[in-house]
Structures are given as structure tokens and as C-alpha cells.
Structure 1
Amino acid sequence: MLTLTENASTIVKTIVDQNLTTEDAGLRFSQEGVESGGLTVTTAEQALPGDAVVEQDGAKVYLDETAVAALGDQVLDAAVDETGGVQFNLLPSSPAV
């Protein structure tokens, strides 16, 4: 299952706290249409039925079925660029030791 870096957890919490006030609020990764290929990231007040929930260091991320398949066992990292935009990056997970 997807995991988050410390940076990603902090940025997810910041985005959610700035936009929503509900306790179950998080970021939701979904795919609008099979042909679109890319994932959409939106704030969500709660998980939708069928969403997988990733909760790490107080950050909540909801993944629809397509996002679960696309993100698998990767690591989500995030950074803020020079213009203040958030950039999400996927890193391969470290093999279990």
C-alpha cells in the first residue's frame, strides 16, 4: 500500500487544514476516466465508498480503485516549488529487510 514521506505528510495536512475543517478530511487521488491516464488530486471531507484509506503522521489520503492500482506499493513524496505550487512525486518503495 502507498506510504508517505514526512514531507508529503506535512504538505497533505497543510493543504487539508487550509481547505477543510472536518476531522475526516484528507486528499483524494482518483482517475476521472480510464482514458485520461492521469490521477486527479482533490480535497475531500471523507472517504467515498470503496476508497482505500492511507493515514500516516496525521495525514489522510483516500485512493479510489484506480489510484490503488496505479500507486501500488510506492512512496508519495511532495515539495513546494518556487512559485508556491505543490509537486507530488512517486518513489519506489524500499525492499523489506
Structure 2
Amino acid sequence: MLTVTDNARAVVEDLAQQAGIPSEGGLRIAQSIGQPGNFELALVPAPQADDQVVDEAGATHVFVEKEAAPALDALSLDTDPEAQGPGFVLTPQG
């Protein structure tokens, strides 16, 4: 299952708070339509019915689309220190 670093959790919480996302909402990761192997990240007010909830430790959550979950199983969501503004990266767990 996808894991979430403390740095990524803090950024998700900050972004969700700025966007006014309710506490049951969070960051949703889904496969990109038309771009196999790419993922789209979006702040959502609640998960979809078949989403995997992968992080419930923070004030907000991280959800993974059912179809994207197998591709993300051995990865970790982290922040990108070189990004201009909030950026996320997927890295191998371990």
C-alpha cells in the first residue's frame, strides 16, 4: 500500500486547510486519463466509494483510486524539495 511521509502529510494538510477542504476530505491520487503511467493529484471533499484510504494519521487524508492502487503499492508519497511551490514525488518505499 502507498505510504505517506511526514513531510507530504504536512503539505497535504496545509493545502487542504487553505482550500477549505473538510476534515473527511484530502488528497486523491488517480490514474491520468489518456496518459498511462501518469497520475493526477487533486484535493477532494471526500473519497469516492471504492477509493483506498492510505493515510489517516493527519488532519486530512490521502486517497488512492482503486485502479491506481496496484501501481502505487510499493511507493511512498513525499514532497519535492526542488519544486516551485508545493510539489509531490512518488519514490520507492524503503
TM-score, reference length from structure 2: 0.83
1:91 alignment partner AA = T
C-alpha distance after superposition, 1:33-74 (max 9, x if no partner): 2x4121111111111010000124314111102221221121
Over aligned residues, Cα RMSD in angstroms? 1.8
Q: Structure 1 pair 82/46, CA: closer, same or farther in 2 (3 Å)?
A: closer
- Alignment-derived partner of residue 43 in structure 2: 43
Q: Of Structure 1 and Structure 2, which has the larger fraction of its residues in helix?
A: 1
Runs of 4+ in 1 over 4 A off after TM superposition: none
Mapped partners of 2:3, 2:14: distance in 1: 17
1:90 alignment partner AA = L
The aligned length equals: 92
Task: For structure 2, list consecutive stretches of 5 or more residues without a partner in the other structure.
Answer: none
Give the number of the structure whose alpha-carbon radius of gyration is greater.
Answer: 1
- Alignment-derived partner of residue 67 in structure 1: 68
Are the counterparts in 2 of residues 3 and 56 from structure 1 also a CA contact under 8 Å? no
Mapped partners of 1:28, 1:9: distance in 2: 13
- Alignment-derived partner of residue 90 in structure 2: 90
Mapped partners of 1:21, 1:69: distance in 2: 27
Q: Work out the percentage of aligned pairs sharing the same amino acid.
A: 28
Task: For structure 1, list consecutive stretches of 5 or more residues without a partner in the other structure.
Answer: none
